[in-house]
Each structure stands twice: as structure tokens, then as C-alpha cells.
Amino acid sequence: MTLDPKKLAKFASIERGPRDFINIDPLQTGGKLTPEAQKAIVEWGDGYSVCDFCPGCLDKMKQPPVSEFVHEVLPEFLGVDGARITNGAREAKFAVMHSIASEGDSVVMDGLAHYSSIVAAQRARLNIESVGHSGNPDYYIDPEGYGQAIEKVTSETGKVPALALLTYPDGNYGNLPDAKKIASICHEYDVPLLLNCAYSAGRMPIDAKAIGADFVSVSGHKSMAASGPIGIVGVNGDYVDTVFRKSPTHKIKEIEFLGCTARGATLMTLMASFPAVVERTQRWDEEVANARWFSEKLEGMGLIQVGQKPHNHDLMFFEAPIFYEISQKVKKGRYFLYKELKARQIHGIKAGLTKYFKLSTYGVGKEDLSFVVDSFEEIIDKYNK
């Protein structure tokens, strides 16, 4: 086989684009590498780097200190009895579902659940019962809805659901439901709760035990300043032995993780960023204050923040009738907002979106957020003269 050298050459010179833009993308800033992680990715980038030190089981590795990180530091950070590295939050969710449920069992989850939660349940061959929400404008999840969904499943199948899942926060509106109350309601029916913390753990403090969650799923590349894909699953109580059960034929290999998961650069960047991640979770109140200030400024221009108010998270969804009206009048109007923001070195709102969009203020800081606010005002003034 002879491959065209010109085609091959393009793979050796892939560029990401400008990095000095103000970034308000809802997926990106929580995963931005720290300087320490940038150094680690060079040091540990070879495919075999961490495997060279493996004693046969990743979480038993002493140097680099993976064992201490996994068995001591992460459980304390997340408020769990046991933790493991996964290839992402979705793999963490699947590991829980597959280990504690059987084919045909049911899982109850919020109506705002991420698609990966649904696909994980489908892969585990589980039935899904959805907990509704209030719809526009707040998309409120009533904790009592979990009790109602559990009772419905029990009535229809004669068996309580194997699991309940809560997205905390949801990936569209950034709402933080009353997780503690939901956990309490689920436990009244002896149903364990999995908290999907892909957009929270690593940005804000998460204590699964204090909340009452039996499991947590975490994304390292979305919220813990790590090179992805990588995640964490945290487990409490007797479920530790179930989720972390070992192969009967390969005694040190844990079945749900196929013996080993994320390693190399992904794992080492997660560890290298961790001190900074711990520190930044202690400044969560500042992040929430910035998000609320930003929301208030945009609403003052005629935009509408959809979801919880006052808002309690950096991720926000806005309806923007004023930008949509402009888009109907200008040439190639769907893209005018994206182009105007790009000209001001602001990244994060997808090209073609004007009627509504979501964004994140996480880690941007008040000065740059002020520039974004001023930019929105300038764009409105420019087209509404």
C-alpha cells in the first residue's frame, strides 16, 4: 500500500488556532491545562510512559504516585469511600450501571440528562424512566418527581429501579437541583443515587457523602484541567466491592475498567493540575458572583437568561431576541454575531447561533467579562443605529 505523502503531511501540521482569545465556550475553560499540566504532557506524552512503571494494576502504582492520588487524595476531595480513574464521565456512569444493575432493570434520571447518560443506560441494557422538569423559563427539577418516577417504575414492573441519576448541573442551563433532597427521597425507596458531576467537580466543591450520593461521575477534561479523555468514578458504602470487583481469572484486574483505563498524558495532567484545581474550588463563590453579574448585564441589554435565578453556576443559556432580529436584516446574518465576536478576539459562541446560545464565565475573570459585556453593547449599537 502506498499512501500519498501530501495527504500524510497534513496530519503532521495540525494547528488549533489562536489561544489568546477570551474563551466563553461552555465546554472548554474548566479543562484548560495549568502550566504544570502543560509540562507534564511533554514529560509523559509517550504512549508507554506510565505503563513502564505499572505493577500490573494502575491504581497500585507507587511512583509516579498514582496509588496515593487514587486511594487517598481523590476520595477525600470527592467525599467518597473509593475512586478510580476512567476514560471519561460517561465511562464512569456506565461502570456504575453495568455493575449494580441487570439487563431489563430500570434507571430513573432527570429530563435534562446528558445524552451520554442515556447511551450508557442503553449500553447496559437498562430501561429509562425520565423525571420531568417545569420547562421554559426555569427548567426546574422537582425533587418529588424522583419519588413519583420510582413509584411508577415499581408499579409497572413490580421491581424498584436499580439506580437513579441526577445531572449536577445539567449541560444546557447550568441548573443545580436540590441534590441532597433528591438523594434522601431515593434512599426512602432504597434506590442508590449517581450524581453526574461532569460540569461541577473540579470547578466547585463536591462532597458526595454530605449530599447523600452513592456514586459520582467526574470529567477531568471538562472540569479538572486535564488532557482528555479522562474521568473519575467515586463510590460510597458497600457499592465499592460491587463496582470495583475483580476478575476471577486475572486476580488483580477490575472487570468494569477492563483491567486498566486512562493512563499516560491524560492521567499525569490530571495529577499535575490537581493542586490548582483544589485551590480554585475554594474560590467558587467568586465564580458564581461573576456569573450573576454577567447575566444581569446581558439581561439589561434585552437578552434573557434561561434557567435558575439567581444563577448558581458558570454555565448559562441565553435567549437573544435582539441578536436574532439583527440576523434577519443583515447579509449572511446567521453568522454576524460569531464574526463580530471573533473580530474582538472572543471565542465560544458557535457560528450560526443568534436566537439563543449557551456560554460559560468560568475562569474568565471580571476584567475580561467586562470586555465581553462591552462588546455585546457595541455590536447592538452598531446594528441598531
Cα Rg, the chain, nearest whole Å: 22
Of 226, 203, 232, the closest CA to residue 272 belongs to 226
Q: What is the mean pLDDT of residues 183-198?
A: 98
CB-CB contact of 136 with 162 (8 Å)? no
Instruction: Note the pLDDT tens digit of each residue in 58-70.
Output: 888 899 999 999 9
CA distance 249 to 290: 53
Where do the structural domains in the chain lie, given as residue ranges? 7-24+284-383, 35-280
CA distances from residue 84 to 30, 41, 100 in whole angstroms, order as listed: 20, 21, 16
CA distances from residue 139 to 33, 91, 128, 129, 131 in whole angstroms, order as listed: 32, 27, 20, 18, 12
CA distance 225 to 33: 5
C-alpha cell recorded at residue 285: 463563590
- Give the pLDDT of residue 228: 84
CA distances from residue 18 to 15, 346, 370 in whole angstroms, order as listed: 9, 10, 21
CB-CB contact of 149 with 131 (8 Å)? yes
Confidence of residue 292 (pLDDT cuts 50, 70, 90): very high
- Give the pLDDT of residue 17: 65
Confidence of residue 18 (pLDDT cuts 50, 70, 90): low
E strands, 158-206, in order: 163-167, 193-196
Task: State yes or no: cis peptide before 321, omega within 30 of 0.
Answer: no
Q: Which CATH architecture is the domain 7-24+284-383 placed in?
A: Alpha-Beta Complex (3.90)
**In terms of residues, how long is the chain?**
385
C-alpha cell recorded at residue 242: 460491587
**DSSP labels, 62-108:** -SS-HHHIIIIIHHHHHT-SEEEEESSHHHHHHHHHHHH--TT-EEE
Instruction: Note the pLDDT tens digit of each residue in 67-110.
Output: 999 999 999 999 999 999 999 999 999 999 999 999 999 999 99
- Give the pLDDT of residue 263: 87
More confident residue, 97 or 261: 97
Q: What is the mean pLDDT of residues 252-278?
A: 94
Q: At residue 289, what is the residue type?
A: A
- Give the pLDDT of residue 20: 85
Angle at 31 between CA 355 and CA 61, to 5 degrees: 155
Of 335, 332, 334, 321, the closest CA to residue 380 belongs to 321
Q: Give the chain's mean pLDDT.
A: 95
List residues bridging with 215 in a β-sheet: 194, 235
Number of alpha carbons in the 13 Å side-chain half-sphere of residue 5: 0
Instruction: Note the pLDDT tens digit of each residue in 26-41.
Output: 989 999 999 999 999 9
- Give the pLDDT of residue 19: 73
- Give the pLDDT of residue 11: 81
Q: Is 164 left (phi over 0), alpha (psi -120 to 50) or beta?
A: beta
Instruction: Give yes or no on whether 7-24+284-383 and 35-280 have one common fold.
Output: no
Q: Which fold has domain 35-280?
A: Aspartate Aminotransferase; domain 2 (3.40.640)
CA distances from residue 320 to 355, 360, 378 in whole angstroms, order as listed: 5, 16, 15
C-alpha cell recorded at residue 32: 484548560
Residue 1 in this model has a pLDDT that exceeds 70: no
Could you tell me what percent of the chain has a pLDDT over 90? 87
Instruction: Note the pLDDT tens digit of each residue in 160-182.
Output: 999 999 999 999 999 999 999 99
- Give the pLDDT of residue 61: 86
- Give the pLDDT of residue 149: 98
Q: Which of 46-60, 122-136, 330-344 has the lowest mean pLDDT?
A: 46-60
Strand order in the sheet with 315-319: 304-306, 315-319, 356-360
**DSSP labels, 368-384:** HHHHHHHHHHHHHHHH-
List residues bridging with 357 in a β-sheet: 318
Q: What is the dihedral of CA 372, 375, 379, 384, to 10 degrees?
A: 100
